[in-house]
Structure 1
């Protein structure tokens, strides 16, 4: 299946996101633990480079202070029920290889035990901290990754008795716009957390990489869906699901049995609209409604089909989530390999993908590709104004 044409990425960086990004260094100065939430379906795309830079500086500043200062980042992969289980341990091992200082946890809103496991780990790293001191936790992440939901679950784990939900949640990105008040999530030891606004990257990037990044985030509702035509989202979703499992893609249940899975987006939406009875006056198919239904189906049910994908040695699956694909070739997996050997092959592929991703981020930062043309002009204008001010002050001081 050919990849569909990718629309140019939109710009979506409201003022409250910019304001929080500017506040982040100060907030980190009084933070002991950072819980950074990402989406299991997009474990790389849901990384915010601004957080990476801020956390690197936070660790450096903490290392220069008292040795007793706690400085721990926990990378939390939410919605684990929406990805195949066989990829979780290889991903965790890849993260441990590349980022040994970070701890990785997978959680699901449907599995209260996963929130309890995260809560217990948080408590375990506080054992050596003097009990008279409170612990501050900052929860950060892209929009709509489940930060408020996680805090509510952890509060229920850490506060005895019936505890009211403290954070409002929403399926729409950008619901939380300001830093929350200090929320207690554990009585013993005393742990307090702050919910934060979901923060997008100011610029999704140039070329196909930026275009694909925007579509991925729109599909998981991490960016305003209205910024894209729903037909574009449906076409890209069809393409990604086919890559995940060309022999038996999750959308197979929506089409007649005799249908070729390698189908064009136009034919797919026409067939789907006919099966759902979505017709226009005159007998034509309402492909826009069919596209809306398809995206909604994937978010509510179709991801479950993706999560049920069998281990690659038993199927010809060619990826995990929407960030890891083997470009049409399996990662050296055959039925002759043991399960352990196949897991190692997947881990090696994931590690390489992660390394490439971070190298691309560094390149974008160094070449300026991470900043839009408009932003580059604003930055240049500010620098010019600053130079003029410095020159003016120098001239005044010399007279």
Structure 2
């Protein structure tokens, strides 16, 4: 079948409606009454679903609560809880073999974050997270309550996870706490407090999903946008379905070259393919998507393929088997590396190899985002113009004040 090549990607679009800007401005004040930040990310995009625009406010919040700026794992004083818990949601959609190596790799780079893998459909995951919050509340018995603020990008599963925590923590029948939707942007304002535990008292706030104001320039920004659109993190219609289907086919072929997950959608006996037109024709044939005159409807097949990956139609099954041979390996859509053949007679520790590759990937991600910030590649032309106008207005204001004096 050959080696898959990255297909042409559309330029990154921008989707940052007013309610996102409003919440971003409110965040520093909200953190003053927050004890735990529960940041939800998508396990398929463990790096891409990090919202860098929130990091400044979170860093300031930690410093105000006594954490050492030179050693983020040490705290000078602890009057009340101040914890940043990162939840990698939808863990069932990534291979199990990468979970522990990723946890260890993230702990080395971000020792001040607690990492938890979860699926809202797995009771054990929700119980562990609920117990974690209850223990934090009990660690500070003089505090009247523990307040949890849930943050994350659109459509990573914040409201669904909170509903599961509510049902786990409050005995008896409880109504669904928050509305959920397969489309991003359902939650547009900070929610009222939701009680997660009675003894000790634990409350949570759901917040609007916050997208990056600008996805970046060049191939990196384009790929970032397509990844987020694939998990429905960006408003429907801003990305062409064919572009999403092409990238999804490319990624699934990298994840498992011999038996990619999409084979379950094709006619029995079909082989893996890099050809998007061939793939869509086979998918349309299998799903009986036919236009008048007997022509296969590839446009419907594009939509079905993407919706299947999002878990909106059909049954999405991922292959959790260990990579069997050297070559290109991947975990989720954010990690890809070349695994050489082991030296003759050498004992292979696969978990340590994967962890080392993930550490390299995390370091690259941090370096790239730092470089983008330094070069202002994460700021759109519109944002630059607005900032220039604001700075000019401030200069005029100061000039007028000096004249009056």
Q: TM > 0.5 between the two? A: yes
CA change 1:34–1:338 in 2 (3 A) is farther
Q: Give CA-to-partner distance per residue, 1:28-47, whole Å, 9 cap, x none.
A: 11111100000001101100
The correspondence for 1:274, drawn from 274, 280, 285, is: 285
CA change 1:338–1:139 in 2 (3 A) is farther
- The equivalent of 2:380 in structure 1 is 372
Q: TM-score, normalised by structure 2?
A: 0.91
The correspondence for 1:36, drawn from 36, 39, 62, is: 39
Q: Structure 1 residues 276-285 or 201-210, which shifts more?
A: 276-285
The correspondence for 1:201, drawn from 192, 212, 235, is: 212
Gaps of 5+ in 2: 68-75
Query: Aligned pair 1:11/2:22, yes or no?
Result: no
Query: Aligned pair 1:164/2:175, yes or no?
Result: yes
CA change 1:337–1:266 in 2 (3 A) is farther
CA change 1:390–1:324 in 2 (3 A) is same
2:137/2:201 contact within 8 Å kept: no
- The equivalent of 2:370 in structure 1 is 362
1:331/1:345 contact within 8 Å kept: no
Mapped partners of 2:343, 2:203: distance in 1: 49
The correspondence for 1:305, drawn from 300, 304, 317, is: 317
Shift of 1:275: 3.2
Query: Aligned pair 1:330/2:339, yes or no?
Result: yes
State the secondary structure of the residue aligned to 2:317: helix
Matches within 5 A, 1:156-305: 156-256=167-267, 259-300=270-311, 304-305=316-317
Q: Structure 1 residues 385-394 or 249-258, which shifts more?
A: 249-258
The correspondence for 1:345, drawn from 337, 353, 362, is: 353
State the secondary structure of the residue aligned to 2:65: helix
- The equivalent of 2:390 in structure 1 is 382
Q: Structure 1 residues 253-262 or 66-75, which shifts more?
A: 253-262
Q: Give CA-to-partner distance per residue, 1:129-182, whole Å, 9 cap, x none.
A: 134521111000000111111111111222222222211111110000000011
2:216/2:222 contact within 8 Å kept: yes
CA change 1:315–1:285 in 2 (3 A) is farther
- The equivalent of 2:159 in structure 1 is 148
Q: Structure 1 residues 313-322 or 32-41, which shifts more?
A: 313-322
Mapped partners of 2:95, 2:230: distance in 1: 18
CA change 1:288–1:31 in 2 (3 A) is same
State the secondary structure of the residue aligned to 1:225: coil
Q: Structure 1 residues 96-105 or 159-168, which shifts more?
A: 159-168
Query: Aligned pair 1:21/2:24, yes or no?
Result: yes
Q: Give CA-to-partner distance per residue, 1:287-314, whole Å, 9 cap, x none.
A: 11111111122222788432x3301247
State the secondary structure of the residue aligned to 2:87: strand
1:2/1:239 contact within 8 Å kept: yes
Aligned residues: 393
Q: Tell me the C-alpha RMSD between the 2 structures.
A: 2.2
Shift of 1:338: 6.2
Shift of 1:70: 1.8
Mapped partners of 2:142, 2:386: distance in 1: 48
State the secondary structure of the residue aligned to 1:364: helix
Q: Give CA-to-partner distance per residue, 1:374-393, whole Å, 9 cap, x none.
A: 11011111111111111111
State the secondary structure of the residue aligned to 2:237: helix
Gaps of 5+ in 1: none
CA change 1:110–1:333 in 2 (3 A) is farther
Q: Structure 1 residues 148-157 or 114-123, which shifts more?
A: 148-157
Shift of 1:113: 1.5
CA change 1:49–1:347 in 2 (3 A) is same
- The equivalent of 2:70 in structure 1 is none
State the secondary structure of the residue aligned to 1:138: strand
Shift of 1:276: 2.8
Mapped partners of 1:335, 1:150: distance in 2: 47
State the secondary structure of the residue aligned to 2:323: coil
Shift of 1:256: 4.7
